[in-house]
Amino acid sequence: MFVFGQQRFFERCRARYGPTFSLRVPTLPPIVVFSDESSVREIFSCRPEDVSVGAALDWMHPFVGRGSLLLKDGEPHRRERRLLMPPFHHSRMASYGVAIRDIARDAMRAWPLDRPFAIEPAARSITLDIILHTVFGVDGSEREELRRALMDLFEDFSVFNLVPALRADLGTLTPWGRFLAHRATLDRLLLRLICQRRRERDAERDDVLAMLLDARHEDGSPMRDEELRDELVTLVSAGHETSTAALAWAFQCLAHHPEAQARASAELESAPDRLEGLGWMDAVVKETLRRHAVFPLVARVLVRPQTIGGWALPEGTLVYVSIHLTHRNPSLWPEPERFDPSRFLDAAPRPFAFVPFGGGSRRCIGKAYALFEMRLIVAEALRRFRIVSTGAPEAAVSRGFTLAPANGAVVRLHARHPARAGRRHRGLHVAHGGEASPERAGSNFGGSHVDA
């Protein structure tokens, strides 16, 4: 955990020692940090049996449960990923599009105009609702109940809970006691949801939980209730803060680069009903993720000795790919501090120079989902608002295991079409969890139909 707040320190190490350097941190094994393209390729190409991730993330088990994908390695990890991947394949995004767009649209109607407004809390609320709808398949009062339980668990989490010796359960008087109480509430709601969904099998459902209930292990058995619980909490833990921080950075970048924003808005005006072919918008999203690595590093523990970047490293070494430094490596990205979406316009990024979602057998399973969600939400905002900066760009601070803008990405929003601001949208409004409207059935999200 200590490393997430240490990006400036990493930058100083890189300036002094080059793209590869080692660290000694009390209580941790020897650490080697890499940020050059060929070492990143070597690390992400390691055979799954030669590296462990579960060992580096073991501290997360009280949250995500022992059955979580995050804590598995080798063959059990491969098998679990095979079950979890299909709902996140990019061909599935079309089915989530209308809901994502409608949740964002409903929330943005309440965003204040012409005064400073912190995007991050507002984005957090949107991304949580989106996960609850598209992953858990819940709406209305059920969504509110689960939302409260998740927020209690996340917001009340204390660093003391990470140290086993400090985990004293004296009821709600102690951080650990509160954590256990919040977790018990969440588990009760999740197990109730899973049982109810097993009882009422509904072939029309297209949320992630519905697909996981139908998924089968290689021996033909379904996922057990506890397994489903652990993976649902894993998905919300891995997908919620990351998407929130990425959106906050996107708004900050657009506010500070009015020319990039004007080009994105013009592109949207010229393609009023689609998200397909929005090359500039796509480039803005990718450049945001390059410039601000919300997940600044990924870790692998060597299970066997390995040579990486020409360095012979013993078993037990903690190997970091610094996404933050790789994305700022001037030999890969000229003028790396400059926000310049045109880097992504004409050519696909080199796969081991642009790694916001990690790589290899552990690459983020939510990549297509996260990119799709970002494009939809940013497009929705730009159709409604002009985003204006209120001061100097905010520095990055660590929020859990992500890096987010220090003050929550404060911007000022001006109505782009004042006559339309606040007007309720007609057509294509889908009551979440209700019957799909005819527009939904015929809508073209992959190349989403967006008609604000």
Within 10 angstroms of residue 169's Cβ, the number of other Cβ atoms is 12
For strand 318-322 and strand 31-34, is the pairing parallel, antiparallel, or unpaired? parallel
- Kindly state whether residue 265 participates in binding ligand HEM, applying the rule CB under 6 A: no
Whose CA is closest to 110, among 97, 127, 125?
Answer: 125
Query: What are the structure tokens assigned to 93, written together?
Result: 């995004």
If binding is defined by CB under 6 A, does position 3 make contact with ligand HEM? no
Among 35, 52, 242, 288, binds ligand HEM (CB under 6 A): 242
Residue positions counted in the chain: 452
Binding mask 274-313 for ligand HEM (x = CB under 6 A): --------------------xx--x---------------
Give residue 428's region: left, alpha or beta (phi > 0; psi -120 to 50): left
Check residue 138 for interaction with ligand HEM (CB under 6 A): no
Quick check: 325 binds ligand HEM (CB under 6 A)?
no
SS3 (DSSP) at 366: coil
CA distance 188 to 185: 5
The yes or no reply on residue 136 touching ligand HEM (CB under 6 A) is no
Does residue 97 belong to the site contacting ligand HEM (CB under 6 A)? Answer: no
Among 64, 235, 253, 376, contact with ligand HEM (rule: CB under 6 A): 235
21, β-bridge pairs: 33
Give, as one character, the DSSP assignment of residue 135.
Answer: I
Full strand arrangement of the beta sheet holding 21-23? 21-23, 31-34, 318-322, 297-302, 51-52
In this structure, are residues 375 and 369 in contact, taking their beta carbons and an 8 Å threshold? Answer: no
Q: Which stretch binds ligand HEM (CB under 6 A): 13-21, 221-229, 231-239, 440-448?
A: 231-239
Q: Which of 250, 332, 365, 410 binds ligand HEM (CB under 6 A)?
A: 365
As a whole number of angstroms, the distance between CA 48 and CA 43 comes to 10
- 369 sits near ligand HEM (criterion: CB under 6 A): yes
Contacts of 438 (CB under 8 A, 6+ apart): none
Interaction of residue 4 with ligand HEM, rule CB under 6 A: no
Residue span binding ligand HEM (CB under 6 A) among the ranges 34-42, 357-365, 407-415, 436-444: 357-365
Question: Is 252 one of the binding residues for ligand HEM (CB under 6 A)?
Answer: no
Sole window of 11-19, 196-204, 335-343, 360-368 interacting with ligand HEM (rule: CB under 6 A): 360-368
Please say which residue, 297 or 413, places its beta carbon nearer to ligand HEM.
297
Binding positions for ligand HEM, 12-71, rule CB under 6 A: 53, 69-70
Residues that bind ligand HEM (CB under 6 A): 53, 69-70, 81, 234-235, 238-239, 242-243, 246, 294-295, 298, 356-359, 362-366, 369-370
